[in-house]
């Protein structure tokens, strides 16, 4: 197995909600402070090995982006450690910290909001490598031309502005900008979600090609299991701030261990039946402001037992390279579920 490249160890992250105007006024007038704490991540472990594509999936609000930003070093955890190449990111200083920042690039969903509309593509892509002293200014044009070609755009487009490109082309510009500083690790946060279906496949193929050509490591965040099935070596499933299951992609798709994973897969969409997002698993996702005790999934789980309502299940190996956090694994006879009947089995 290749070396561990990036790692989150027992990472938690809380946010305090901002009070709105009415709440601020009420507090000034003596009312109780109504700010609430959002438990976005609750003791999460994640390991990414060199050269791996790890797919991080889960419903909206389960903490995927927060984990991606923490692993990328853009956001500190409230608790826990983030290691990059074996070193605690929080302790990196000077040149080492700068190097770690450059080696990790994050590609967001909406390229338009991250590309400066007043700058030409040549500057958008070529600015950072010059500013960081990776290349002399005179080499900027050539570097940008090469990068545009690498992401499938005509190098003659380098003097255009972002608004002169389509959504898919803009995402390619975003990718070229990320590649300009020679990263080894790309965190792709819903990077293809905003694109038309046909364009999604093209950009996904580009990511896979770049992986091969440049030996990249990816954390690929998506709410779309079919996308992850297509690109990831390993899948990590999150539910309400916790990892509930992880393992090799094929194993997870063939035999999910956690009832939540099974329920998601029931709804999914094979890649050939293109389906863009999760259908709601039965029941509402609870609020991360007030998560349920025990297993976070128990209010929606068709198998929930008394123990699930009070005791958090640990994430443990369950065979086949998979890990799952489910008390069912401790039963002498585990109820079997299939992708089609998991909703009907009584508790
Ligand atoms: N800066 C913040 N302030 C307050 N709450 C936040 C902040 N950032 C994220 N959250 C909350 O933390 C939880 C997890 O958010 P996050 O964006 O990580 O989830 P996600 O799985 O990526 O969802 P989505 O796909 O909708 O972005 C959500 O309840 C979100 O509202």
293 CA from centroid of ligand 1 (Å): 20
What is the maximal distance between C-alpha atoms in the chain?
A: 69
When pLDDT is cut at 50, 70 and 90, the band that residue 281 belongs to is: low
For the segment 228-249, the average pLDDT, to the nearest whole number, is 96
- The angle subtended at Cα 55 by Cα 62 and Cα 250, nearest 5°, is 120
Residue with CA closest to ligand 1 atom 20 = 61
Atom of ligand 1 nearest to the CA of 69: 18
Q: How many residues belong to the chain? A: 347
Query: What does the DSSP 8-state code read for residue 56?
Result: E
For the segment 35-59, the average pLDDT, to the nearest whole number, is 94
Q: What is the pTM of this model?
A: 0.90
Token code pair at residue 324? 């799952």
- The closest of 240, 244, 278 to 261, measured between CA atoms, is 244
Residue with CA closest to ligand 1 atom 7 = 15
Residue bearing tokens 């927060």: 66
71 CA from centroid of ligand 1 (Å): 15
Mean residue pLDDT of the chain comes to: 89
Atom of ligand 1 nearest to the CA of 238: 21
When pLDDT is cut at 50, 70 and 90, the band that residue 274 belongs to is: very low
| pLDDT tens, position by position, 85-137 | 999 999 999 999 999 999 999 998 877 788 899 999 999 999 999 999 999 99
d(CA 5, CA 86): 7
254 CA from centroid of ligand 1 (Å): 30
Stated as kind and residue range, the H or E segment containing 168 is helix 167-179
For the segment 195-219, the average pLDDT, to the nearest whole number, is 94
Rg (CA), the chain: 22
Residue with CA closest to ligand 1 atom 6 = 15
| Least trusted range by pLDDT, from 31-35, 125-129, 265-269, 321-325 | 265-269
On the question of pLDDT at 19 being above 80, the answer is: no
Q: Work out whether the CA dihedral 64, 222, 96, 98 comes out positive or negative.
A: negative
Complex ipTM, two decimals? Answer: 0.97
Atom of ligand 1 nearest to the CA of 288: 29
Residue with CA closest to ligand 1 atom 2 = 15
Residue 11 C-alpha from the chain's centroid: 15
pLDDT computed for residue 177 by the predictor: 96
Atom of ligand 1 nearest to the CA of 68: 18
On the question of pLDDT at 147 being above 80, the answer is: yes
Atom of ligand 1 nearest to the CA of 287: 29
For the segment 267-295, the average pLDDT, to the nearest whole number, is 65
139 CA from centroid of ligand 1 (Å): 40
222 CA from centroid of ligand 1 (Å): 14
Token code pair at residue 45? 């472990």
d(CA 250, CA 108): 26
Q: List, in order of start, the domains of the chain with CATH numbers.
A: 4-21+35-330 (3.40.50.300)
Residue with CA closest to ligand 1 atom 5 = 15
């Amino acid at each position: 197995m290749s070396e561990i490249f990036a790692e989150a160890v027992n990472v938690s992250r809380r946010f305090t909600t901002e009070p709105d105007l009415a709440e601020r006024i009420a507090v000034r007038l003596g009312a109780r402070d109504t700010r609430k704490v959002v438990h976005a991540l609750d003791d999460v472990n994640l390991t990414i090995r060199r050269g791996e594509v790890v797919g991080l999936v889960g419903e909206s609000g389960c903490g995927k982006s927060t984990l991606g930003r923490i692993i990328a070093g853009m956001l500190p955890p409230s608790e826990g450690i983030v290691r990059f190449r074996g070193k605690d990111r929080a302790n990196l200083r000077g040149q080492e910290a700068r190097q770690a920042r450059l080696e990790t690039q994050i590609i967001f969903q909406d390229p338009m909001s991250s590309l400066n509309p007043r700058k030409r593509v040549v500057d958008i892509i070529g600015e950072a490598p010059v500013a960081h002293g990776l290349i002399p200014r005179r080499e900027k044009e050539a570097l940008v031309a090469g990068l545009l070609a690498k992401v499938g755009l005509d190098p003659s487009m380098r003097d255009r502005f972002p608004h002169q490109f389509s959504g898919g082309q803009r995402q390619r510009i975003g990718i070229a900008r990320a590649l300009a500083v020679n990263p080894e690790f790309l965190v792709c946060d819903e990077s293809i979600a905003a694109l038309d279906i046909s364009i999604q496949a093209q950009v996904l193929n580009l990511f896979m090609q770049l992986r091969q050509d440049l030996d990249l490591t990816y954390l690929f965040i998506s709410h779309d299991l079919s996308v992850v099935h297509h690109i990831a070596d390993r899948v990590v499933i999150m539910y309400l701030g916790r990892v509930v299951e992880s393992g090799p992609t094929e194993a997870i798709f063939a035999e999910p261990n956690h009832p939540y994973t099974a329920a998601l897969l029931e709804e999914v969409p094979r890649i050939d039946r293109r389906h863009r997002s999760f259908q709601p698993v039965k029941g509402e996702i609870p609020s991360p402001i007030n998560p349920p005790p025990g297993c976070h999934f128990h209010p929606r789980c068709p198998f929930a037992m008394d123990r699930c309502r009070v005791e958090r299940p640990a994430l443990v190996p369950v065979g086949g390279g998979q890990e799952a956090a489910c008390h069912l694994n401790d039963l002498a006879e585990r109820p079997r579920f299939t992708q089609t009947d998991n909703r009907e089995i009584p508790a």
